[in-house]
Amino acid sequence: MIHTCTSIDEIMEFISYWEKNRNELAFEIDGIVIKVDNYQQQQELGFTAKSPRWAIAYKYKAEKVETKLNEVTYQVGRTGAITPVANLEPVLLAGTTVKRASLHNADQIEKLGLYIGDTVFVEKGGEIIPKVVGIKLENRTPELQPVKFPENCPECGSALIRKEGEAQHYCPNDNGCPPQIKGKIEHFISRKAMNIDGLGPETIELLFKKNLISNYADLYDLNFDQVVHLDRMADKSASNLYLGLKNLKTFRLTVFSLLWE
């Protein structure tokens, strides 16, 4: 959709029209881009380090919907950070069905004053990430119970800690908490790290459950027989994985050799 405007009023009319009618389009939009269409004026206006001065985006207010908060669960990241997640009654929002939304930390839960069973308002930050932004208090009933942030890790039971000045709670059991262990291994083998072919989160989960690995150093000790007997692991997949692990060992030897020199 391109429209030439000759005044600020025409621009605002165009913005207002599509804000009301954008749901009729065959694709999602979150705003309008306004550009100066005179090349000489574009050159005069120039650029900043990141964007042209002759173009600007007008973002529409995020769509907001109501749904029910069914449960709050807690995820443990590879650093031990605890992230509360709102499990919601499925609701259509900005073209997708939303079932979960991050609550970020204990402070956000306290700020919202959440109760399990509340009717909550959900919107997508930047039209992408679902978040709970408020509560419909008039729908709250007396039997509902407030959300209480846990004192212990939901995975290993360790007492959580919170460093001064930080919003996040952490599990300090970095060598014994399963999600932290698996998360560190997944980070180690990821594309931006060691980039091991044939090895992904599902295989890491299997290797961990079989007690074949407890940290990323254990990957160096795996052999073909251990790999090929994993569930859902065919000979070709096992060969690709073993080759990736073999290349990992070669890389380690090369690095040690360079350091020695």
pLDDT at position 116 over 70: yes
The pLDDT value recorded for residue 251 is: 58
Q: Indicate the DSSP class of residue 115.
A: B
Mean pLDDT along residues 183-209:
84
Residue range 8-27, pLDDT digits in tens: 999 999 999 988 888 788 88
142 lies in a domain? yes
| Sequential DSSP letters for 15-48 | HHHHHHHGGGSSS---EEEEE---HHHHHHH-B-
Q: What does the CA dihedral 105, 108, 113, 114 come to, rounded to 10 degrees?
A: -50
Give, in order, the Cα–Cα distances in Å from 216 to each of 116, 176, 248. Answer: 39, 14, 11
Task: Name the residue type at position 136.
Answer: K
- What mean pLDDT is predicted for residues 237-247? 74
In a domain, 216, yes or no: yes
CATH of the domain at 26: 3.30.1490.70
Q: Write out pLDDT tens, residues 136-156.
A: 999 999 999 999 999 999 999
134 strand-pairing partners: 121
The CATH number of whichever domain residue 74 belongs to comes to 2.40.50.140
- Return the half-sphere exposure (C-beta side, CA atoms, 13 A cut-off) of residue 85: 14
Helix 178-189, helix 201-209: angle, nearest 10 = 130
Give the chain's domain count.
3
Q: Quick check: is 3 in a domain?
A: no
pLDDT reading at 255 higher than 50: no
In a domain, 2, yes or no: no
Enclosing domain of residue 54: 8-59
The answer to whether position 168 is within a domain reads yes
| CATH code of the domain containing 184 | 1.10.150.20
